[in-house]
Amino acid sequence: MRFYEFECKLLLAKMGVPLPHGGTASTPEQARQLATELNAPVVLKSQVLSGGRMKAGGVKFADTPEEATNAAAEILKLPIRDQLPVCVSVEAKAAVAKEYYLGVTYDALAKKPVMIFSDMGGIDIEQVAEEHPDHVAKQHFSTLIPYTDFRAKELISSLGISGGDLTALTGIATRLVRLFQQYDMTL
């Protein structure tokens, strides 16, 4: 099952995961309108079913609605891995103090889902796992037994995360697992 980022964010929002404000635009003019409504610097992202968008030029930042218009025009005509975007997402640019990676996927070798956490967030988790394995923690779980806050805290704290970050990430982790199970995201 493949989702565009904006589709994933709609599901995440339903689960109560905190997300930046924004929307999608099919034209540069719609991107301008969203940037104007957000009244803040924005990030625009190509909506293609592919990774590597940042490296391919499919992610741009804009400080003004005019810059957002120009960025959207560039992104909308930029193929990434032979795909033109269906639209661009336009979101308020978040002030980032620390980035983490938290995801759920299906481990075909173990034949069970796995929660992956890294204290080196951002892009290219595979590269982080290869070059800095001590910054990536994995935890398999059963789809038959509820995934608890305790299990999430165990995983996240294994990389030294504590306090408010641990609390916030725990809630997000348990919601991700519920989403994974609710929509049977094993394909």
Can you give the pLDDT at residue 37? 98
- Do 106 and 84 belong to one domain? no
**Does residue 187 lie in a domain region?**
no
Can you give the pLDDT at residue 148? 97
Can you give the pLDDT at residue 186? 64
Q: What is the pLDDT of residues 74-120, one digit of tens each?
A: 999 999 999 999 999 999 999 888 999 999 999 999 999 999 999 99
Domain boundary among 68, 92, 116: 92
Residue 19 belongs to domain spanning:
5-92
Supply the CATH number for residue 131's domain: 3.30.470.20
Can you give the pLDDT at residue 121? 85
Low-confidence spans in the chain with pLDDT less than 50:
187
Can you give the pLDDT at residue 185? 75
CB neighbours (10 Å) of residue 49?
A: 13
**Does residue 22 lie in a domain region?**
yes
Dihedral of CA 96/147/51/160: which sign?
A: positive
Helices (H), the chain: 5-14, 28-38, 53-56, 65-76, 125-131, 149-157, 163-182
Structure tokens belonging to residue 112: 């069970």
**Does residue 84 lie in a domain region?**
yes
Structure tokens belonging to residue 143: 């789809």
List the one residue out of 7, 40, 3, 8 whose CA is nearest residue 21.
40
Domain tally for the chain? 2
